[in-house]
Structure 1
Amino acid sequence: MVDVTAGTDTDATPLFREVGASWLWLLAGPVSAGIMLWIERSNGNGWQITVPAFFLVVVTCFIALQVKAARIHTSVELTPQTLRQGTETIRISEIVKVYPEPDSPLGSKKDLERWQSARALGELVGVPKGRTGIGLRLSGGRTAQAWARKHRHLRNALTPLVEERVSPAELAQDDDGDDGSRW
């Protein structure tokens, strides 16, 4: 399990950031209420506000809950010192290597890279839907997956931070001799 870095200063300027979800989704509540008003009016029922008000409250509250959860659990922030994935934060100094992009995606029938079956950072069971995993070799011989929607941007920001700390010899060969290749 990856150590959670407690008490780490995460106020530094982010090098990469994804918020998880947009509050604009809350507009679905008023839109659904407006559609219900239009349906009632077009059916000759007049302006009955009970059902549209119900849709306004229920849809808006439900979507607000979903957006809040997504903003907590699927947000990503990379600073020069830390990588935060959801509610889990690790120090960049714990990352030994950023594995290259895999030859085959998860859905293909080709062999997967070893890191593609590693634990995803954050408290979620796996890489969140709509995100792509990035293989990380962590201190102590551990392997994990970082993830982001714009995974190439995260990889491009994270790789130099790791490489400036780790020597080229350490990058070529991991702690246990595993170079991240297939099983």
Structure 2
Amino acid sequence: MTATDQQVLFREPGATWWWAAAGPASGGAMLLIQVWAGYGIDLLVPFVFFVLVTGFLSIQVKAARIHTSVELTPEYLRQGAETIRIAEIVRIYPEASGSEVEKWQSARAIGELTGVPRGRTGIGLKLSNARTAQAWARKHRQLRAALESLVDES
């Protein structure tokens, strides 16, 4: 692996592990409800809430970190589990404006998801072999700027 392969120009993790803290919070809330309601302390219910909420949210965070993460280096753009080489990007379409839907907005989203993930904005890309696709990110303007600098350089 060369130094340019390790240089990350843009990165979004997809989700934060802080969401898993809702598990201990829910267990603590159930414990407080028991105390304030005068039922005494039964650790089974808070423990069940702690385990279930932490477990479900951890699965969701892990999935989001796999499927909605973005990484851009001088060599490739990775979105979710799909990676495309920067050399395949021929053009970056201008940002959509107004109420008119641009043609590139109906192109497939890069990654294994069926569309641009919620909370992200698409960036139109013309790829080699007359293909069109959408890159996406929460901080789409930063990703667009980084992509434009790489595509202009090639």
Do Structure 1 and Structure 2 share a fold, with TM-score over 0.5? yes
The superposition leaves residues 1-27 of structure 1 with CA deviations (integer Å, 9 ceiling, x where unpaired) of xxxxxxxx9952210000000001110
Matches within 5 A, 1:65-144: 65-104=59-98, 110-144=99-133
| Distance across 2 between alignment mates of 1:129 and 1:10 | 31
Query: Matched residue of 1:29: which SS?
Result: helix
The one-letter code matched in structure 1 to 2:125 is: L
Matched-pair contact (CA < 8 Å) for 1:10–1:82? no
**CA shift in 2, pair 1:144/1:59, >3 Å:** same
| Distance across 2 between alignment mates of 1:134 and 1:17 | 15
Matched-pair contact (CA < 8 Å) for 2:5–2:74? no
Q: Percent identity?
A: 64
| Distance across 2 between alignment mates of 1:103 and 1:38 | 50
TM-score, normalised via structure 1 length: 0.81
Query: Matched residue of 2:90: which SS?
Result: strand
1:45 aligns with 2:34: no
Structure 1 stretches of 4+ with a deviation exceeding 3 A read none
The one-letter code matched in structure 1 to 2:13 is: V
The one-letter code matched in structure 1 to 2:84 is: I
Matched-pair contact (CA < 8 Å) for 1:18–1:148? yes
> Hey, what does 2:23 align to over in structure 1?
29
Query: Matched residue of 1:129: which SS?
Result: coil
> Hey, what does 1:181 align to over in structure 2?
none
Matched-pair contact (CA < 8 Å) for 2:4–2:74? no
Matched-pair contact (CA < 8 Å) for 1:12–1:80? no
How many equivalent pairs are there? Answer: 152
TM-score, normalised via structure 2 length: 0.96
**Coordinate RMSD, CA, aligned:** 1.3
Matched-pair contact (CA < 8 Å) for 2:11–2:70? yes
Greater helix fraction, Structure 1 or Structure 2: 2
| Distance across 1 between alignment mates of 2:76 and 2:118 | 23
